[in-house]
Structure 1
């Protein structure tokens, strides 16, 4: 039987994860529909790329501000505000024409996601006992919303146009409000005053977060999209939606398993082993074993997702934990924002095996460096 602190952490983590799982589908469906239907949103394809990157760029700049607001206001107030903002963003996708209005909405969503993501990470690691398993369950709950929304969005876009689905997703985000109001209201203590900032090189976990974002959320996802278009040109939208949904399904099925294994074997050791296996699969993906290696990468990614937050919590106990979690999220966003741009530059100009082989080498080096501290 779990102790009260662990049971409370489980409950709060579950509620926060469901809140994010209800708010996230509008963003993931936009990734699916905006490039294909850019004209119906009143923008060019180039502007669609900027809009899809804007939420990550604002998080890179705004995570520190979000972390301070989170510490001052607590989970309940911040997640309630973020859920309301998420519903407004979905309505904006449904109604707003043109680049500038959509850009404002994307920037608002970026800050909202930062707040919701930080809350799920902080609550999953509020008790170090079982934190990896709790983080795995959290990732599974978050993934459920996008997994169901992506095929539905592709199907409804063919029936009613690409904007109608966002009215439904706005209502879905509003369903998160009662759960957000159940989250703890207490504020979090501030870290001790820090000395004057100085430029420091990224630590090992920063480098790994960057490389994971670059390879798995950037280069690999772009490769999957190109593969779907080449293999099934008549069903490209639905195929891409199903592929993206399978990515989230793997999180639902495998992230809790990854968390349980990490609690038994150690998250750091498991991170290194899975990263090396992912690197080997990336080389095979670039060499032409597309479907088998794509499936393997999706599985390995899902198993890795619960690992970073518990490692950060163990290395940064106490008041430093929130800022440390935010810092790693920033580095992952930098990598995930860089990956698609690199893919667009490198894949047309260089053999895929060199592109993915180079990324695999860098990911392996970053993982091995995590065995050293910090």
Structure 2
């Protein structure tokens, strides 16, 4: 007589599963808060250089205003990290969302360089706080950290990808200022999700006084990623493709920026799943090497095909750095390490446009982008030394 098959009792959720679900929920809420606050900044990048007179600034002043938020983060990330550790996620993100709404309201009502500069500095600190919270919450639990990072990037990109085309159309119809009033109200919608963030502070994460040290391989890679993908590539695309891009300038620029964020929505979760399967560090090295090839091709004249490849590769790489940092710096060091990588990326993203503006008019683009590609490849290979096993988490 055959015995009946063994029944498999349903597995009770473990504490690790519950912690992972809580991390998913908190990471999603922080990402949505940043998604509501970010469109004011991204739309300003689109409209300020084109409508400088409407804001009472020259083109040179517009460039300084657009760089100011990165410059303040270079010196301010440490203070933001200490504030975040002492006060926790809910107060930090709530304060940042309210301040972001005030910045957008200021863009709608204030004119002149000195009136707009404090808003840009304030926004830089707001972004630092929200960005740090999203990364810290995505990596709070090792289980599924890379996948959470990818989903977080997709949620963050939703705000800009919806606001950019609508903002471009409204700017053409009604001028560049009124849209920022609408975005100020939209930013306050982030308060609905910050209420669900954890109240707990992180006293163990309060960073100690920083000591001078040599940049690590991850520092070098973060700098080169900001320099090439957020600086040199974006400026080069505008400079090299200005005669080939159809349509009006504002519409074309809006489409390009929306494409970048749209790629994040679709592909960043894919990058997170790939990292969970093959390992975030190995994937970062492989994709950076392919990106280096695309950069060299971009400089050689294969403009649109290589630009599309770079947009795709950038979106796939975005969720990789946070889990790598969390793996290398477990425990209290994680928040400060995430902030340090963001500082190096901001330094690179600030240096990239300056280098592009100085070099592109006087040197062959093949030489410029080939050297940048080589440096990115070397930085990626340095990060790959001593990679951990292929699966980053269970």
**CA shift at 1:199, angstroms?**
2.4
Which SS does the other structure have where 1:13 is aligned? Answer: helix
Tell me which of 274, 297, 305 is aligned to 1:284: 297
Tell me, what secondary structure is at the counterpart of 2:214? coil
Name the residue aligned to 1:98.
Answer: 112
Give the Cα separation in 2 of the matches to 1:97 and 1:7: 46
Instruction: State whether structure 2 residue 360 is matched by structure 1 residue 355.
Output: no
CA shift digits 1:72-117 (9 cap, x unpaired): 0000000000000000000010110100110000000000000000
Please identify, of 10-19 and 364-373, the stretch whose mean Cα deviation from structure 2 is larger: 364-373
Unpaired stretches in structure 2, ≥5 consecutive residues: 1-12, 388-394
- Compute the TM-score of the two structures, normalised by the length of structure 1: 0.97
1:223 Cα shift?
1.5
**Alignment TM-score, normalising by the size of structure 2:** 0.92
Count of matched residue pairs: 373
Who is 2:392 aligned against? Answer: none
| 1:301 CA drift (Å) | 0.3
Say yes or no: does 1:366 pair with 2:379: yes
Larger fraction in helix: 1
User: Is the Cα–Cα contact under 8 Å of residues 204 and 373 in structure 1 kept in the other structure?
Assistant: no
Alignment of 1:126-205 (within 5 A): 126-191=140-205, 194=208, 197-205=210-218
Deviations 1:159-183 (A, max 9, x none): 0001111011101100001111110
2:322 aligned residue (270, 291, 309): 309
Helix, strand or coil: the match of 2:343? helix
Match of 1:45 in 2: 59
How far residue 231 of structure 1 moved from its aligned partner, in angstroms, is 1.8
Gaps (5+ residues) in structure 1?
none
Name the structure 2 match of 1:123.
137
Q: Which runs of 4+ in 1 moved over 4 A?
A: 191-194
| CA displacement 1:183-232 (0-9 Å, x = unmatched) | 001001334885x7542210000000000000000000112222453223
Mark the CA change 1:272 to 1:48 in structure 2 (over 3 Å): closer, same or farther: same
Change (3 A) 1:211 1:193: closer
Partner SS, residue 212 of structure 2? coil
Following superposition of structure 1 onto structure 2, how do residues 24-43 of structure 1 map, counting pairs within 5 Å? 24-43=38-57
Q: What does residue 357 of structure 2 align with?
A: 344
2:83 is aligned to 69
Residues 197/309 of structure 1: CA separation in 2 closer, same or farther (3 Å cut)? closer
Q: Please provide the CA RMSD for this pair.
A: 1.4
Q: Deviations over 1:321-351 (max 9, x none)?
A: 0000000000000000000000000100100
Determine which of 344, 347, 352 is the counterpart of 1:331. 344
> In the alignment, is the contact (CA less than 8 A) between 2:86 and 2:206 conserved in 1?
no
Per the alignment, residue 23 of structure 1 pairs with: 37
1:220 partnered with 2:246: no
- Give me the whole-angstrom Cα distance separating, in 1, the residues matched to 2:245 and 2:205: 52
